[in-house]
A and B are shown apart, each in its own frame.
Chain A
Amino acid sequence: MRFEIGGKRLVDDVSLAIPAGRMVGILGPNGAGKSTFLKLVSGEHKPTAGHILFDGVPLAQAHPALLARRRAVVPQSSQLAFSFSALEVVSLGASVPGFGLCGDHIHAAEAALERVGLAHLAGRKYTDLSGGERQRVHIARAMCQLATAPPSPGETLLLLVDEPTSNLDIGHQRRVLEALREAAAEGAAVLAVLHDINLAAGYCDSLALMREGRLIAHGRPEEIVRDDLLSHTYGCALDANQTPSRTPFVLPVTRDAPDGGAPMLNGFSRRHHTEPSSR
């Protein structure tokens, strides 16, 4: 698949399968075309060449309202000009074309808020929530959107998330990613653009590495989180390693550290393990 704007190739020759029940993370430096790729998959942009298949059907043929029953998007940030409560924002996910005018979508919204751990804030104004809570409200909204019309057998639910953890502290980052994992555990295909390689390695089933619009590599976290691959992609010296529990992680190589690694990691085993991580 390829996408061009004004003769500039933003996404070039990318081919990626996102299986149901899996969480795929997209990594890459700023301007690598990650968000553009996400917009192509969401149907917001149409590819210049190539095609996107959703359950075997070209995305371009899907009606927006029908697509919305099976594909939800969590944006990077969302501004609301009016003071909705958290529950109302979530129920917006179910109050759109293709759905009934009224009905029990409030229950779906309550359930979705419960799942992201925000049930106690249902009545709170959206504008009074913290950044992490807002992000989780939008994940709940996307879940509510997908939960409103249960898919028929063989239909996949697709959740697209654009940098859900930017500007969040580590506790909120974890809660957001756990919410996404739960969606994947329930059978949805989750595609998330992420900046934090270590979080991505810890939570995603597979990682896709992009640079200058191209897909550099795609594989399990331990296959992607490698010194050479990441250093090449990000254009700086990076040192990959694994935690005792075999989750791969990466740190920048700091100045004059012995053997080019980060000194505080000396106790950990060096070099990459190819066994699957025990997440």
Chain B
Amino acid sequence: MLKPTPAEDLGKRVGPARERARARGLLGLAAVFLLAAFLSLSVGPSGITLLSLPQVLGEVMGYSAGTGGHEALVLLDIRLPRTLLAMYVGAALAVSGAIMQGMFRNPLADPGLIGVSSGAALFAVAMIAFGDAYLPALKALLGVHALPVAAFAGGLGATAVLVGLTSGRRTISTGTLLLAGVALAALASALMGVVAYLSDDRALRDLTLWTLGSLAGASWSKVIGTLPFALLLALLLPRLMRDLNGLLLGEAEAYHLGVNVQRAKLVIVFVTAGAVGAAVAVAGIVGFIGIVTPHIIRLVAGPDHRFLLPASALLGGSLAVAADMVARVAVAPAELPLGIITALIGAPFFLHLVLRRGANG
């Protein structure tokens, strides 16, 4: 056996110090999250800047005399919902990515890469194109939630296929998972093409936004539409952290540790489909946040889900807000689709991961 070295001795004492470091880490990430949101409110083509933001915010809340209401309106009706949605989309995708990676015991799972986002987008597009004609009662009943619910159903379908594929295996090979994802995504985008072909021009134009991802259409009704899914995710997160820690060791081991495995998997499937579905319903397919974020957190703090999930939510939200800011200013006054920004950053990162895994066998 190897003799203890000072560095390994240190490992003995990492426990309590690590807990404190994690608490500090979460606080730091929360600060970054809020800072990103604050910056996002001050970026855009209209006159509000970082300097005038406090004044406009004061006006919105009724504390100070206004500048005529226009800026307050921009802030309240355009930038605030857009920032909130970016926060949600990033957090939901990052957490869903981390959860799926834990459940599939595969660090390359990502809602965008394994076809869940595509399934969600297909159903959302179908709801836009055919909802009024074929499901008017359902669409009226669901109101602002109609799109998220449709996307949720699509995400659920895609996830169910993947879970069926992986059920009972100790680990699923990256190849199988990604190939299944590629097939699902290809099928979904082909069907989206069919939907676009069958529908009128307006929905056809929307299709680009769906496949590239954008928050340009942000509104309060979309914020309200995603709210139930965000709340559900937040409520179930503590439960999921522990279940996923058990599942990391394998399904049998998770049972031995007291996890109700079947129920945990069911909850995971529904929660991630819901979270991703709602994100896709408001922003289209935004890729790579779900894979980049958990990887960064794991690199720094290890794979314990009790830290990984909340930290991924905060960092993912910050990344999406930052990416959306770039999307808004990079080619102003025009806008880049959000998914292009995240893919530009995320795809090389993903490639790096794949190559490194390949080198390690």
Of the candidates B11, B249, B257, the one whose C-beta lies within 8 Å of that of A85 is B11
The answer, yes or no, to whether B145 is at the interface (CB within 8 Å) is: no
Name the CB-closest residue of B to A66: B258
Q: Which of B15, B252, B260 contacts A64 (CB 8 A)?
A: B260
Q: Which residues of A contact B (CB under 8 A)?
A: 42-44, 64-69, 71-73, 75, 78-89, 91-93, 95-99, 101-102, 104, 106-107, 109-110, 119-124, 145
Name the contact of A122 in the complex, choosing from B2, B8, B252, B306 (C-beta under 8 A). Answer: B8
Q: A96-B245, A98-B258 are in contact. List 4 more A-B contacts (CB 8 A).
A: A80-B248, A81-B105, A97-B243, A106-B19
Q: How far is the CB of B213 from chain A (nearest CB, A)?
A: 28
15 A-B residue pairs with CB within 8 Å: A44-B252, A66-B258, A81-B105, A87-B11, A92-B245, A93-B257, A96-B245, A96-B259, A97-B242, A97-B246, A121-B8, A122-B8, A123-B12, A123-B14, A124-B11
B9 CB-CB contact with A under 8 Å: yes
Given contacts A80-B249, A96-B245, A106-B15, contact A123 B7 (CB under 8 A): yes
CB <8 Å contact, A92 and B246: yes
Kindly state the interface size class of chain B when it binds its partner. 35 or more
B residues less than 8 Å from A102 (CB atoms)? 19, 306
The 7 A-B pairs with the shortest beta carbon distances in the complex, nearest first, are: A123-B11, A68-B258, A106-B15, A120-B4, A122-B11, A82-B303, A65-B258
CB of B12 within 8 A of CB of A110, answer yes
Q: How many A-B residue pairs have CB under 8 A?
A: 133
A82 to chain B, nearest CB (A): 4
Q: Is the CB of A68 within 8 A of B107?
A: no
Q: CB within 8 Å of A: which of B250-286?
A: 250, 252-260
Residues of chain B within 8 A of A69, CB atoms compared: 258
A94 vs chain B, min Cβ distance (A): 9
Are A75 and B257 within 8 A (Cβ)? no
Contact B258 A85 (CB under 8 A): no
Return the contact of A95 from the options B8, B242, B255 (Cβ within 8 A).
B242
A109 to B249, CA, bound (A): 16
Confirm or deny: B70 has a beta carbon within 8 angstroms of a beta carbon on chain A: no
Chain B neighbourhood of A92, CB < 8 A: 245-246, 248-249, 257
Interface check B16, CB cutoff 8 A: yes
